[in-house]
Amino acid sequence: MSFKPKEYYTSIANLYKQDAINLLRNTPNLSEFDLAWTNFDWSSNRTCSRGGWYANKNGAGVNIAMSKAVPRIPDKEIYRVYEYKSFDHDPTIGGIYIREPEFKVGLIMLHEVAHAAQYWLKYMKNKNPGTPHGDLWKRLYACLRSNILNPQLENQKELRLNYEKNVKKLTQAA
């Protein structure tokens, strides 16, 4: 098993962030969207990421728990990335099956940028942001996922079947 340095995954997160900002700037009401603040927290004590409004930073931002965002995937193994239970099985914004840690980094970054955009709309455009994982957020996240991350993923049906076979083997062996 070989793992890339922290700087590599930070650069991957930055690429996803910039792609997300550029895409959102082409959507109604978000032509001026930007992040005032981004933090990549590698502390193992940091257990969750957050995207939203940071009043002390004067704008929207994301704070990514990088040690949780970068899974340690043995070579060629399939890893399951879960989303929130209420939409984990959604074909566009749900959980994914991956072999490359970069895709989990991307999923988390896009998820949090969607929250940041949701609250940017609230504070900069006086739009009702709805609930944290409500309709507006889901539309923003679906736009990001379907245009940036999802086209890069391996065949999800095939990976899911192989993942389930592997899980079944492990549970039968136990």
CA 67 to chain centre: 14
State the pLDDT at residue 2: 60
Residue 174 pLDDT > 70: no
State the pLDDT at residue 75: 83
Site of tokens 């957050």: 50
Cα–Cα dist 58/54, whole Å? 6
Beta bridge partners of 113: none
Beta bridge partners of 41: 65
pLDDT in tens, 46-104: 999 999 999 999 999 999 999 999 998 888 899 999 999 999 999 999 999 999 999 99
The per-residue DSSP string of 89-150 comes to: T-TTTS-EEESSHHHHHHHHHHHHHHHHHHHHHHHHH-----STTSHHHHHHHHHHIIIIIG
Pairing of strands 79-81, 59-65: unpaired
pLDDT in tens, 5-53: 999 999 999 999 999 999 999 998 999 999 999 999 999 999 999 999 9
